[in-house]
Chains A and B, each alone.
Chain A
Amino acid sequence: MKRWLEFFGGVTDEGPLALSSPWWGAYWALLVFIIYVFCAQTSRFLYVDF
């Protein structure tokens, strides 16, 4: 589980599976969609502005 989350979170270079470029494109599109859905509630970063 950790390996999967770290790979798909961009933390590690080596992952449990090799994805081709179109699959990465689809994955990024999914992330952008999630960001688009939730970004209306923009708030400051908690840690930054102290």
Chain B
Amino acid sequence: MIFNTAAYYLLFLLPAAICFRLSSASVRPFLLAAFGAAFFIYFAHTLNAHRFAAACVLIFFWEAWFSRLYRERSIFCLIGVVQSVVILSVFKYYNFSVDLTHVGKRWPQAFLPLGISFFTFEFIHYAVDRYRGVIKEGRFRDYLAFIFFFPSMVAGPIKRYQEFVPHLEHPSEDWFTDLNRGATRILAGLVKKFALADLLTALTGHLVRADIATANRLTLLFWVFAYGQQIYFDFSAYSDIAIGSARLFGIKLPENFDWPYLQRNISDFWRHWHISLSRWLTDYVFIPLGGSRRKPARVIANLLITMLVSGIWHGAGLNFIAWGLWHGILLIAHRLWRQRFPERSISPTISWALTFFLVNLGWAFFSMDLSTARFFFARLLT
């Protein structure tokens, strides 16, 4: 929701962008923080029935205060990472882990704070980069503006502090181009969402056990491929609206998609699909594990762990773990192929078709629970 509500545009985006443009540099961060906090409280209250949903805005204030303790190689940076992981785990994975292990009692009133998967990843980025000394100590108000910047708060793109703050201090002065590009991107994003993604629901709605039981193989493939197109149009539309909204402030957010379905191998697919998440996983999971400069077996393990983290981040369910595993295996297979046959190249059309087929087949795990996905593959293969 949110980006397809009038409230977003009339109560938040337009007033905030206009005020931001007319304010002095010293006031702008406080303005973004105030609008961001109001945005969180309004939509957390509107979209989430839980009475404590809006109170989760306190997480941001706590993070902003705690981040002032961060220093290079400081233990507080590590505590900051741990507390973000704990916040994410408690809200998102507690009931899942209880169901899985049968240890502890379920939390019946569990709810997901708005944008928790995304804002915790930005918190972790800041803590790790402060620990590494990549980010020098900045101003409190800049960090507040960074974490409260509402166009990207709910579903990214996942920003980097060091890339965001220069825009805050010196936003683009080319108002006409920003308005033109920002408005065009928002409208094009809404068209993608309403006219393409939502329309595909007519096909993807069939991905349920009763319909799978009666469909033939070609129809099953058609449905799951339709889901692949739907999720692309849906999430790239969301990213378009977020990036277009930021452009109205004169702020450029990182791109999230760059024609992923035209890529000719799985590594390139991940360099062009949800780019801000792929960068995050590379910098804060894959490289700390040792990256690709270790022994082959360790590199394979690193790839698998990274994609498992990606899978579990996408949702608290075994199907998301299976989806991450699927992509981990594809990445490993591609890596082994390149090592074994460095000189051999496949026809571009075949490599594109193979990548497209395997990625879209993998959406079966994403779109259905594990039991239904297993049933789907059983029907497809037998």
A residues near B (Cβ < 8 Å) are 2, 8-11, 13, 24, 27-28, 31-32, 34-35, 37-39, 41-50
Contacts and interface: CB of A to CB of B under 8 A. Distances in A.
B292 interface: no
By size class, the interface of chain B is 35 or more
Contacts of B190: 31, 35, 39
Contacts of B2: 45, 48
A35 B187 contact: yes
Interface string B153-197: 011000000000000000000000100111111111011011101
B254 interface: no
11 contacts: A9-B240, A31-B190, A37-B195, A38-B198, A45-B193, A45-B238, A46-B197, A47-B231, A48-B2, A49-B112, A50-B314
Nearest to B227: A46
Contacts of B231: 46-47
Interface of B: 1-4, 112, 117, 154-155, 177, 180-188, 190-191, 193-195, 197-199, 201, 230-231, 234-235, 237-238, 240, 244, 247, 255, 259, 314-315
Given A10-B187, A45-B155, 9 more contacts: A8-B184, A10-B181, A10-B240, A34-B191, A41-B199, A42-B4, A43-B201, A44-B1, A50-B314
Contacts of B238: 45, 47-48
Given A45-B155, A45-B193, A2 B259 contact: yes
A36 to B, nearest CB: 9
A24 B180 contact: yes
The B contact surface, by secondary structure, is helix
A10 B185 contact: yes
Contact of B154 (A9, A27, A41, A48): A48
A2 to B, nearest CB: 7
B188 A41 contact: no
Nearest to A36: B194
Contact of A28 (B1, B3, B184): B184
B198 A41 contact: yes
B183 A28 contact: yes
Which of B194, B197, B230 neighbours the largest number of chain A CB atoms within 10 Å of its CB? B194
Nearest to B178: A13
Which of B180, B188, B247 neighbours the largest number of chain A CB atoms within 10 Å of its CB? B188
B314 A42 contact: no
A41 B201 contact: yes
Contacts of A49: 1, 112
Given A8-B188, A9-B185, A46-B234, A41 B194 contact: yes
Contacts of B194: 34-35, 38-39, 41-42
